[in-house]
Amino acid sequence: MKYEEVMDYMELKVNKLGSVPGLDSIRELLKRMGNPQEKLTFIHVAGTNGKGSVSTLIANALTANGYKVGRYISPVINDYRERIQVNNRMISKTAVAEGMTEIFDICTAMEGEGLTHPTAFEVETALGFRYFTDKKCDFVVLETGMGGTLDATNIVENTMLCVFTSISKDHMAFLGDTLAEIAANKAGILKAGCKAVSAPQEEAVKQVLQQECDKHNISFVCVRSEDIKVGRQSLRGQKISYGAYKQVELPLLGSYQTENAALALEALECLKSCGVSLKEEKIRKGFMGSQWPGRFEILSKKPYIIADGAHNEDAVKKLMETMRFHFTNQRIIYIMGVLKDKDYTPMIQEAVPMAEFIFTVTPPNRERALPAFELAKAIREYNPNVTATDSVEEALELARLMAGDDGVVLAFGSLSYMGKLRACFAGKK
């Protein structure tokens, strides 16, 4: 198959299979592929918010120290191939085509035997494992998709370190109704013999993680917010001090990134204790080179246009804290688009009081997108200054005009439309 044929097959068949938690299909698929994941060493990252940022910082620090590092991420923003990277280079179209041809042949054989066809996330995870093995990666920084226990990535056994980012309420239909239930699901990635670190958590979450680590006799460290010292913060970057690391430069913007950086530093210290050779100056270099699109990303100035993939209540709350810090007493225009399976009412309640006007968009995800007019209707109960638009391009044009040179445009609500938004600025930054 050619790359374009792979994309067509994914769109016309595999993506329609939806999300099916469980490990049976991917276990069978990987078995028929020779279990490539057994040749890899994993840093497994789970959580509700911050997985991408923390994974980026850890992977870049390891890369700067001379290691070959695979990264498996979701969701992606600009290119399908972003989900599978080695040392920040995306998998090639040729490698996708060759790997998926093998995988689809196996999936067809499985179907012929009456077995379930693996989902999109399962075949992509399998492709990642094959690619990382072929590239002989020293480490793979592996992000879970949605949960932990039944997430396709949890098929791995060679886990050196489990990293838990901020855990809050999201995907409750799959993961549980309470923070404790959600935390227990995320903690399902823990493996005997690994170590675990966590971002600052609600007490209920911290207790569950500690209990699960104790159960498996796993060393567990939870970052404390009071141990993070924040230095200079501006729209050019920020500095943090944590433990032995003083005044670490962090180009990632957003107040929430200070906790993510501290967690990454704690994770790297844990890897050191496992015998991984890491030099502080290389860690700092890796952090300085870190970028993560769609997370308080400044796309333009005059007016400031900011993209942030905050897509649940906790993420929106932290986003609003950052906006108040940087843009006090300034006119703020929103562009907002959400998925219909999200609990978007609390997001609206948290965010819209700050907005002078809101333009809604329909994200490109056909099955899951909430139409712009329905979102506008929901927002109107809390802020009457809202209108639905027909496209991201139209929303951007109207928001830019309304903001003028001295206002601020904030686009948020779902990462799924950030690619379209960023494309409007291609070559202009």
**What DSSP assignment string belongs to 6-42?**
HHHHHHHTGGGG-----SHHHHHHHHHTT-GGGG--E
- Give the CA-trace dihedral at 104, 109, 113, 118, to 10 degrees: -20
pLDDT recorded at residue 319: 94
**What DSSP assignment string belongs to 235-284?**
TTEEEEEETTEEEEEE---STHHHHHHHHHHHHHHHHHHTT----HHHHH
Longest dimension (CA), the chain: 64
CATH classification number, 3-288, choose in 3.30.1330.10, 3.40.1790.10, 3.40.1190.10, 3.30.470.20: 3.40.1190.10
pLDDT recorded at residue 256: 86
Contact predicate 208/180, CB 8 Å: yes
pLDDT recorded at residue 85: 97
- For residue 176, give both structure tokens: 């549980």
Q: Do domains 3-288 and 297-423 have the same CATH topology?
A: no
pLDDT recorded at residue 266: 98
Class of domain 297-423: alpha beta
**What DSSP assignment string belongs to 399-426?**
HHHHHTTTSEEEEES-GGGHHHHHHTTT
What's the CA gap between 230 and 139, in Å, rounded?
30
pLDDT in tens, the chain (429 residues): 899 999 999 988 898 887 788 899 999 999 999 999 999 999 999 998 899 999 999 999 999 999 999 999 988 888 999 999 999 999 999 999 999 999 999 999 999 999 999 999 999 999 999 999 999 999 999 999 878 899 999 999 999 999 999 998 764 555 657 889 999 999 999 999 999 999 999 999 999 999 999 999 999 999 999 999 999 889 989 999 999 999 999 999 988 899 999 999 999 999 999 999 999 999 999 999 998 888 899 999 989 999 998 888 989 999 999 999 999 889 999 999 999 988 899 999 999 999 999 999 999 877 789 999 999 999 999 999 999 999 999 999 999 999 998 999 999 998 889 989 999 987 554
Per domain, the residue ranges of the chain are 3-288, 297-423
pLDDT recorded at residue 429: 45
Q: Which strands sit side by side in the sheet containing 139-143, from one edge to the other?
A: 89-90, 84-86, 69-72, 139-143, 42-46, 159-164, 195-198, 220-222
pLDDT recorded at residue 329: 87
In 3D space, the residue among 19, 31, 2 whose CA is nearest the CA of residue 126 turns out to be 31
Helix %, strand %, coil % of the chain (to 5)? 45, 20, 35
pLDDT recorded at residue 75: 83
